[in-house]
Structure 1
Amino acid sequence: MIELKAISKKFGDTQAVNQVSFKVAEKETLVLLGTSGCGKTTTLKMINRLIEPDAGQIIINGEDITSQDPDVLRKGIGYVMQNIGLFPHYTIAENIAVVPKLLKWEKEKIKTRTEELIKKLHLPESALIMFPHELSGGQQQRVGLARALVTDPSVLLMDEPFGALDNVTRSSIQKEFKALEELKRKTIVMVTHDVQEAFELADRICLMDKGQIIQIGTPKELLYQPVNDFAIKFLAGQRLALEFKVVHIQDIWSFLPEETLQDGEGLSADLNVWEAMELLRRNDRSELRISGQNKESKTINFEQLTKGFNQFQTMQSHE
């Protein structure tokens, strides 16, 4: 769906992006991760020509973006930014309708699509006649997402989309983001400096430093197969919490107690270890019933879960 070929960009004497190449598959979420000034936002903005590269080529859907009118290109790409960029004197309905109006959609079509998105994003219908300053930060962020999604673009670019939110709001919007069917059909490139967020939302992560790609791979590959010291050190401080999130019950299945013969379905083994621990802690359960592959099922408690996880970790460290 998206391909960058040896993209470079210089600002004065600073090489912001240096020979960056990657591909993003259709319906994949690729997160550009790195410290401030590593070139991730510049890379993102070159995808919709908010910044023009000095060298290289960007292809979307088989077409070189330089062959397209920049305005036409941008109308076909959803864009969500950290400061949201809502027009303060427009109502929420008017903010969401900006691009559809430019595309000359009929009023009824705009109204129907807007109401559909508001419902999906858990915003009250009454918000449509309100102004941005009357909404909370989390609600404003949902409006920004609705505006980016309203024309149903196949590509969505997100620049630190949840960066201005407090931790609690941010965590709840990330969960909604992952669950939203509307987003599962999109090809998404997202920028963040938040490691936990990258691991929560990405199919693959592109780790950048000083304008170059250090490593690109799944969250699990970055954790267990780091390519160099930078990749190791970048994740070191949060490593255990990240491992709880990338290791799934299915990964540690062989380290859990033998199959139990009980009727009925259990929770999916796609559950990660962190989610399983949260369920055991939050719901005051002593055990979880998990359904694995081949109709196997196991009942595990907290001690068995942590023991299985530790054995899996030991195996990983020996490989």
Structure 2
Amino acid sequence: MTLKITLHRMFVLRCTFREQARHSVTCSTWKSLMLQNRMSHSSNPVAAVCQMTSTPDKEANFSVCKRLVEAAREGGACMVFLPEAFDYIGSSRDETLSLAESLTGDTISRYTQLASKLKVWLSLGGFHERGQDWENDRRIYNSHVVINDEGSVAAVYRKSHLFDVELPGRGVSLKESAFTIPGPALTPPVQTPIGKVGLGICYDLRFPELSLALQRQGVDILTYPSAFTVATGAAHWEVLLRARAVETQCYVLAAAQVGRHHDVRSSWGHALAVDPWGAVVADCGGEGEVMVLVEVDLEKVRETRRNMPVQQHRRDAGFYHSLENRP
């Protein structure tokens, strides 16, 4: 295991888990430093944004997530963000469907127990949830599940925009709609210890209508847990996250998958935290299982909106649709 620590207003914990040490992580030095330097003694809440490499092995994936959550809690985080497909990434359509569960299955049960034990909120960024008519059509939802610190499911958002993309020459060919049902509606923002959180998943990031709808409902933080492809991530990941932060004047927290999941799938990584001004305050980089701790300063959200009152300057919805009604 290697450990990298940066002591500023944001902390980075980088753990590369060697095969011989996959079941025991010793972070005593890090924990000691954290206790002495806990976010400069700030009273602002702390969120943890995580990066990992899921495989088809659900048990191994849970072990990684558990270690990241435990380390985040030791560092003072009251809410931990895990990426899309934290549960697994299948190597084929059949494998993906065979591993899917309901919200009452073993995987979510283990995370509710973990949240209750550690007294921490969890954002489970993309769970393979069996659809309502599973026995007949064998299709799933891509579901963002939020669990509170009592171990109860506080919210479920089902991904609205499905990634059906062919990029010849860039090695991208995915059709999520072949086995996934689009979510029927947005989910209201969730009141959490770090503020009001608006839920999205991955490809939703490309649709500003979603973030603006959540902003109108008073969100402080937007979150886009993702498994961006390498090609699209290199080109668009950071700029899209920063754009969503700037236009809504929110924090944007984006946990991410990274590296090679199996022979036919890799992810970009670079899990990010962006502040309401659009500045990147944490970047997990392009490799390895990494967790960053980010102080969420809600006064910065309010100050940004006071100084540049974009929402007050926005015209009514009819104004923006006026071109559609022209003869």
- Structure whose residues are more often strand by fraction: 2
Q: Give your verdict on TM over 0.5.
A: no
- Structure whose residues are more often helix by fraction: 1
Higher alpha-carbon Rg: 1
Q: What TM-score do you get using the length of structure 2 for normalisation?
A: 0.31
